[in-house]
Amino acid sequence: MSSIIQLLPDHVANQIAAGEVVQRPASVVKELLENAVDANATDIKLIIKDAGKSLVQVIDNGKGMNVTDARLCFERHATSKIRHAEDLFSLHTKGFRGEALASIAAIAHVEMKTKQDQEELGTQIVIEGSKFVSQESAVLPKGTSFAVKNLFFNIPARRNFLKSDTVEYRHIIDEFQRVALAHPNIHFTFYHNGSEMYNLPISTSRQRVVNVFSGKTNEKLVPVQEDTEIVTVEGFVSKPEFAKKNRGEQFFFVNDRFIKSGYLHHAVMAAYDGILKDGAQPSYFLYLSVPPNSIDINIHPTKTEIKFDDESALYAILRASIKHSLGQFNVAPVLDFER
């Protein structure tokens, strides 16, 4: 009998991988913003149209790419961020899988412009459904612009599966806020259908929280600060009287990366034990720094879940430091009366 197994062509493999990386326009926003951050940009513009369904564009003033890299960046497993498997345990970048751009280019129309500081001319590439349409050199500013149009143009089922503009826009805001909160040292602007939605100047992390949410946030925040061998905790939690009914403003960042953790959330709630009304949710913006070799980020393609070496120590430190902060601001005793 003849053999029947074949290697899939690249564009098919890319389209399959894209299913994991790109769920919706907000996934494109996340990947492009993170690439801009990794390129050491100090100024990042996000421009979207129709909740990202017709356009997601990110323009940065980062280090750009030379003509060879400009083409290579669209290959699967092409990355400048790691070289060896061990590098996964000393990561200082958001990216490392080298699959975002290949995935996005497989399922959308992409126009990229990029120029390095020292180069005279930059490179402009158009790629649609993994096919290179054009490549030219051009006079460009330093940095990189990715414009992603007509997402899922070649996967009608996925395109139809997208939710209303309101819902997709909300997902984009979530991703934007996560990156903006993690990087107060970067100027971010965000335009939707031609209107400026956010303009966040470089600032302290407290001011960034206030600029992202509202001026009223400032009085609600209590600073948290704890320095131990296994973790540094910084950031802010809200005074209990400002707790909300829903879990809107709750953010963990680990080494500048937004993550979700039910376990760490529980640690925060434990710190508020006895001082919150039933079901009330505090706001928190907590920045944890841990040695890169004490975490594993590579457990999910979107990298929003991570594995810690010593989760229970982290829990205890987090809980204690928040409790201490809340105590210092004299918010705890009030509720003893209610018991």
Beta bridge partners of 244: 281
Separation in Å, CA 287 to CA 81, 141, 203, 251, 277: 23, 33, 16, 8, 26
Which residue, among 163, 217, 172, 226, has the nearest Cα to 33 in the 3D structure? 172
- Give the end-to-end CA distance of the chain in Å, rounded to a whole number: 79
Per-residue binding letters, 27-56, with ligand ADP (x by CB under 6 A): ----x---xx--x-----------------
How far is the C-alpha of 147 from the C-alpha of 58, rounded, in Å?
Answer: 7
With CB atoms as reference, the residue minimizing the distance to ligand ADP is 95
Work out how close the CB of 64 gets to ligand ADP at its nearest, in angstroms, rounded to a whole number. 6
Work out how close the CB of 35 gets to ligand ADP at its nearest, in angstroms, rounded to a whole number. 3
Q: Which stretch binds Mg ion (CB under 5 A): 90-98, 117-125, 174-182, 325-333?
A: 90-98
Decide if residue 48 touches Mg ion (CB under 5 A).
Answer: no
With CB atoms as reference, the residue minimizing the distance to Mg ion is 95
- The item of Mg ion, ligand ADP, none sharing an interface with residue 64, based on CB under 5 to 8 Å by kind, is ligand ADP
Decide if residue 80 touches ligand ADP (CB under 6 A).
Answer: yes
Work out how close the CB of 295 gets to ligand ADP at its nearest, in angstroms, rounded to a whole number. 17
Indicate the residue type of 253: F
Decide if residue 96 touches ligand ADP (CB under 6 A).
Answer: yes
Which residue, among 111, 136, 135, has the nearest Cα to 58 in the 3D structure? 111
- The item of Mg ion, ligand ADP, none sharing an interface with residue 249, based on CB under 5 to 8 Å by kind, is none
Cβ-based nearer residue to Mg ion, 80 or 150: 80
Residue choice 58, 100, 231, 290 for contact with Mg ion (CB under 5 A): 100
Kindly state the number of chain residues that form the binding site for Mg ion, as judged by CB under 5 A: 3
How far is the C-alpha of 48 from the C-alpha of 113, rounded, in Å?
Answer: 17
Decide if residue 103 touches Mg ion (CB under 5 A).
Answer: no
How far is the C-alpha of 132 from the C-alpha of 204, rounded, in Å?
Answer: 42
Going by the DSSP 8-state scheme, the letter that residue 271 receives in this structure is H
Decide if residue 22 touches ligand ADP (CB under 6 A).
Answer: no
Residue choice 95, 129, 240, 282 for contact with ligand ADP (CB under 6 A): 95
Work out how close the CB of 162 gets to ligand ADP at its nearest, in angstroms, rounded to a whole number. 22
Work out how close the CB of 175 gets to ligand ADP at its nearest, in angstroms, rounded to a whole number. 14
Residue choice 35, 177, 261, 321 for contact with Mg ion (CB under 5 A): 35
Cβ-based nearer residue to ligand ADP, 78 or 320: 78
How far is the C-alpha of 337 from the C-alpha of 226, rounded, in Å?
Answer: 29
Cβ-based nearer residue to ligand ADP, 101 or 108: 101
Q: Please compute, for residue 47, the number of CA atoms within 13 A of its CA located in the half-sphere on the CB side.
A: 12
Which residue, among 29, 66, 328, has the nearest Cα to 188 in the 3D structure? 29
Kindly state the number of chain residues that form the binding site for ligand ADP, as judged by CB under 6 A: 22
Residues for the chain: how many in total? Answer: 339
How far is the C-alpha of 262 from the C-alpha of 270, rounded, in Å?
Answer: 12
Going by the DSSP 8-state scheme, the letter that residue 69 receives in this structure is H
Indicate the residue type of 302: T
Residues 6 or more apart whose CB falls under 8 angstroms from that of 136 comprise: 123, 124
Residue choice 14, 15, 61, 79 for contact with ligand ADP (CB under 6 A): 79
The binding site for ligand ADP (CB under 6 A) comprises 31, 35-36, 39, 60, 62-65, 73, 78-81, 95-101, 144
